[in-house]
Amino acid sequence: MAGGTRRPAKPAGSATAEQESWLVEVAEGASRDAGGVPAELLGDYLSLLNDAAVTGRRPKRRELDTVTRLGRSAAEQGISAGRVVQLYLSAARRLWHDLPMVVRSRDREAVRAAAAAVLHVVDEAVATLAEGYNEAKRDLIRREETLRREVIDDLLRGDSDLGGLVERAEPFGLDLSRAHQVALAAPDRRLPDSDSAISALESVIFDRLGDRDVMVATKDGLLVVLAPAEAAAADRVPPPGDARTDLGRLMHGELDRMRHGRPWRVAVGRAHLGLYGIARSYEEAREALSMAGRLHVDSPVVNAHDLLVYRVLLRDQPAIVDLVQAVLTPLTQARGGAQPLLDTLAAYFATGNVATESARRLHVSVRTVTYRLERIAALTGYSPTDPAHQFMLQAAVLGATALNWPRDPLPVTP
């Protein structure tokens, strides 16, 4: 033993009870050196080392296959690769230090040969151990990714068994009683290397929000991020636009640094409580992403909260089509068509009915804005400067924008 009296020499290759006890003590010492890694993970490794030192025998394939299985077992138990390798190296060091004197008393060449044989076993065993460990890790990652994909699909769909889903989500650190929000990121064309994009997002989001209650995945060609709403309590949803919870800008800033996929568009659903709140936030993010394209929104980050009025309008499409048709189609009679007059109305309402600011935004003169407002009143019978008419006109303009009219023809309603 290390620091103790050397054991008496035993005949080479004999498997006495004393030798077995010695190897057990070596294994237990190596286990302590490696921070308590189970000594059972050594298997017959110490016997292989002893045989190599005494007889020069190299391990057989079936013996190395056993080491591969031990490496897989270490990975499945959640033991780090560094600690299990430390177990094997420490075992080799202890065994060499405490080898029977029959080995240590040989001539120099014999000792050199014994050391070379032991090092060969260590080299093959550790390499085989690492191979088995990595195989098991890859299998575990694949299984976890499959489970992660299934969990997030069920969360976004919102129609799964609540009790079962809570249990399945718990290993991923999700507390489904909290408020969460879903954000979607759409690349310019098709989704580039999804693993790189997921890793990049996980890194920045985990750094900002922590790794609990956060999931990053892909779905239908989009990157999906499920994140907690930063609220003081689980029953209070933070206000929209809160800089601390601006998940969309955080995502876009990271994705925009990637080589492929630009320009990205990110849509963020509102934060909602509970399991079904996740599905609701996801649907809002999908609608916001689709609507941002239809409305030709310039901002790369859109929030469902900012598009609520369009969602309300489009819920009753026949009614909004009727409103646009009744109020705005007379504008098509104007020289140049309806679009310049619609743009003027939109700018006028967006600036709080200030003609000078509207002119600046439209890059035209104030007189042009005034003329157009008068022309709108003459054609439609509704004056943009009359408070009694403004709500009707503004609702019609929003509806036209949502329907992409007059670029697209109005849908035919039953």
Query: pLDDT of 272-297, one tens digit each?
Result: 988 889 999 999 999 999 888 877 77
Cα separation of 332 and 335, whole Å? 8
Query: Phi, psi (5° rounding) for residue 188?
Result: -60, -45
CATH fold of 171-309 reads Alpha-Beta Plaits (3.30.70)
Q: What pLDDT digit, counting tens, does each position of 151-199 carry?
A: 888 888 876 677 778 888 878 778 888 889 999 998 877 776 677 788 8
CATH class of 316-403: mainly alpha
Residue-level pLDDT at 56: 86
pTM of full prediction above 0.75: no
Please state whether beta strands 265-268 and 179-186 pair in parallel, antiparallel, or not at all (unpaired). antiparallel
Residue ranges of domains in the chain: 17-138, 171-309, 316-403
Cα separation of 228 and 212, whole Å? 8
Say yes or no to pLDDT of 5 above 60: no
With beta carbons less than 8 A apart as the criterion, state whether 302 and 267 touch: yes
With beta carbons less than 8 A apart as the criterion, state whether 272 and 180 touch: yes
What does the mean pLDDT of the chain come to? 83
